Structure 1
């Protein structure tokens, strides 16, 4: 539950209880009601702060693990295998031409869509490296690519980024739930 919502709900309930009892109570009794409601608010705020601290630590741990993973160089053999699996006949990225780059992006994204659910974060690292190579080749030959093909490639690039980001968000969410 949202800590701000809890705090506001308790504050509204406290104010309502105070106003209803104000007419039928003495100042000393109202003072005690205010103290009790303040204790309740303080307890709710403390619980919310504790939950936020835990979530912050988990997010920091996830970030630390991700940074450590990305600092590790990719294995050349595994990278070549991954490239071959995702690009098939288009695996020699640096030799792609203006007529073959669009089908290479299509092949890449078909494989990403098919395999992404079973991938680990490290698998995504390999796929991202391949995507970067494809994007570099695209930039190198972009001026010779037909406009229709360029638009399709840009849509595929956006789709890849979306899939990768959604996996990161999913993994972060799972990391936040773990004890």
Structure 2
């Protein structure tokens, strides 16, 4: 809405200037155009300042995120997290063609239930578990039934969408924070 309004100001000024051009002097019209240009410059400067601040905050968020992602995953914490998310399927490397689909279902049910309380570090652990599940899936994929494979692919896609959504949400919050 603001953008449309910004474009209407110059358009209205031009239209008013054209209609009243006969009633004013060139110097008066020149001053009106100069005032309009100063107003537009001021608005553009404020917008540029806001973009610069948002860009700096996004860069800070990105660097903090990179530092966090470089920190190694604690294997004990990952095992605890795997037990929470996978329950009886937590021995990922032992999953078979008949148990891998229920493991993915269990994983995604827990992810859906707990994701709103998770920190970015919790997502790092969930991603590590997801990678291990995906690796086991690739290892036994040729022995998995077609309908189970399709369901697993849908669950993989859902996990990626939820994780990306959280990243976007956190980036948006970081950009808005003072």
Q: Which band: TM-score by shorter chain?
A: over 0.9
Q: Is the 8 A contact 1:98 1:144 kept in 2?
A: yes
Match of 2:74 in 1: 75
Structure 2 stretches lacking a partner, 5+ long: none
Say which SS state the counterpart of residue 81 (structure 1) adopts.
Answer: helix
Say which SS state the counterpart of residue 23 (structure 1) adopts.
Answer: helix
- Provide the rounded CA distance (Å) in 2 between the counterparts of 1:23 and 1:157: 69
Structure 1 stretches lacking a partner, 5+ long: none
| 1:36 aligned onto 2:35 | yes
Match of 1:114 in 2: 113
- Provide the rounded CA distance (Å) in 2 between the counterparts of 1:178 and 1:5: 26
Question: What aligned pairs does 1:150-161 form with structure 2 within 5 A after superposition?
Answer: 150-161=149-160
Deviates more, 1:161-170 or 1:11-20: 11-20
TM-score, with length taken from structure 2: 0.95
- Provide the rounded CA distance (Å) in 2 between the counterparts of 1:65 and 1:17: 52
Post-superposition shift, 1:77?
1.1
Question: What aligned pairs does 1:117-128 form with structure 2 within 5 A after superposition?
Answer: 117-128=116-127
TM-score, with length taken from structure 1: 0.94
Say which SS state the counterpart of residue 74 (structure 1) adopts.
Answer: coil
Post-superposition shift, 1:75?
1.1
Tell me the C-alpha RMSD between the 2 structures: 1.4
- Provide the rounded CA distance (Å) in 2 between the counterparts of 1:86 and 1:99: 19
Q: Is the 8 A contact 1:79 1:126 kept in 2?
A: yes
Q: 1:89-117 CA distances to partner (integer Å, 9 max, x unpaired)?
A: 11111111100100000010011011111
